[in-house]
């Protein structure tokens, strides 16, 4: 099956892609394009999947660059291929031929580009990283490479939508302590539960940080099992593990 790659007009000529699970070599609960090396999937299948992604991005498998994601606001400057995977949740580069790769399964994959400056970035922005400032930190790191945030575009890829993201009052309190206005990202659910709008918070954070343009491509990972992996959906189904989607950008 051919790979399915979602793109955004905002990123223009910058080569990028939000890959769905279609077109991969994995089977069972991982059926499709599982790119998570940390999953319990067969390593050979994951290697095949990542090689297919690298080929689609026009790079070698060694130039498909990622980090050991930890739900932080830490950003790594990437200058060349490396087998090391430092603990971080975002990357920036101005080196041509490197594809920055983020793994997600409900969290936000966010791709950044200042085409004029020749600087790109990629961030893994779950609720914790978004709250703690990973998106703002990525913009700051891009500025360190010569980017201008007012010329930078940022696109949020497939993520869990508000209708599928039920949380408790303690979860909401963490956000309200940072900014009472964040209440607008929570809708009432059943009983004491709330429905949290992670992509809306991501867009708010990006725009408040002064990014030139930003959008969410409006695909919900939880509700579309044929196209996307979802940690929450796998948990609700009591599955032993879950696949990871990959999103990439390169110069």
Q: Compute the half-sphere exposure of residue 107: CA atoms within 13 Å on the CB side of its CA.
A: 28
**Best CA proximity match to 168, nearest among 147, 190, 148:** 190
CA distances (Å), origin 117, targets 72, 113, 136, 154, 188? 26, 9, 18, 15, 43
In order, the DSSP letters of 119-165 are: EEEEEEE-HHHHHHTHHHHHHHHHHTTT--GGG-EEEE-SB--GGG-
Task: Answer yes or no: is pLDDT of 1 > 70.
Answer: no
Phi, psi of 183 (to 5 degrees): -60, -25
**Best CA proximity match to 67, nearest among 1, 174, 141:** 141
Strands 90-93 and 75-77: parallel
Q: Tell me what the mean pLDDT of segment 192-202 comes to.
A: 97
Name the DSSP letter for residue 56.
H
For 208-235, the pLDDT digits (tens) are 999 999 999 999 999 999 999 999 999 9
What predicted TM-score, i.e. pTM, was given to this entire model? 0.97
pLDDT of residue 81: 85
CATH assignment of 15-161+197-250, given 3.30.1490.190, 3.40.50.720, 3.40.50.300, 3.60.140.10?
Answer: 3.60.140.10
For 157-185, the pLDDT digits (tens) are 999 999 999 999 999 999 999 999 999 99
CA distances (Å), origin 67, targets 62, 76, 77? 13, 8, 11
Model confidence at 196, pLDDT cuts 50, 70, 90, reads very high
Mean pLDDT for the chain overall: 96
Model confidence at 82, pLDDT cuts 50, 70, 90, reads confident
For 88-127, the pLDDT digits (tens) are 999 999 999 999 999 999 999 999 999 999 999 999 999 9
Share of the chain above pLDDT 90, in %: 96
Instruction: Give domain limits for the chain.
Output: 15-161+197-250
Name the DSSP letter for residue 26.
B
For 19-74, the pLDDT digits (tens) are 999 999 999 999 999 999 989 999 999 999 999 999 999 999 999 999 999 999 99
Q: What is the CA radius of gyration of the chain?
A: 17
């Amino acid at each position: 099956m051919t790979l399915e790659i979602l793109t955004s007009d905002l990123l223009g000529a910058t080569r990028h892609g939000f890959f769905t699970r279609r077109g991969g070599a994995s089977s069972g609960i991982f059926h499709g394009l599982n790119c998570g090396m940390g999953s319990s999937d067969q390593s050979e299948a994951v290697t095949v999947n990542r090689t297919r992604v690298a080929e689609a991005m026009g790079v070698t498998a060694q130039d498909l660059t990622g980090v050991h994601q930890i739900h932080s606001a830490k950003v790594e400057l990437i200058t060349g291929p490396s087998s090391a995977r430092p603990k971080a949740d975002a990357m920036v580069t101005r080196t041509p031929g490197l594809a920055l790769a983020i793994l997600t399964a409900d969290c936000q994959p966010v791709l950044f580009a200042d085409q004029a400056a020749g600087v790109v970035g990629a961030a893994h922005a779950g609720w914790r990283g978004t709250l703690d400032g990973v998106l703002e930190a990525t913009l700051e790191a891009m500025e360190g490479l010569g980017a201008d945030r007012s010329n930078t575009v940022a696109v949020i890829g497939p993520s869990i939508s508000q209708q599928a993201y039920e949380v408790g009052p303690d979860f909401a309190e963490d956000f309200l302590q940072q900014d009472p206005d964040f209440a607008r990202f929570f809708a009432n659910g059943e009983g004491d539960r709330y429905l949290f709008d992670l992509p809306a918070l991501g867009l708010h954070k990006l725009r408040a940080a002064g990014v030139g343009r930003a959008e969410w491509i409006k695909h919900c990972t939880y509700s579309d099992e044929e196209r996307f992996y979802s940690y929450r959906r796998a948990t609700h189904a009591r599955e032993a593990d879950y696949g990871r989607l990959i999103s990439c950008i390169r110069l």
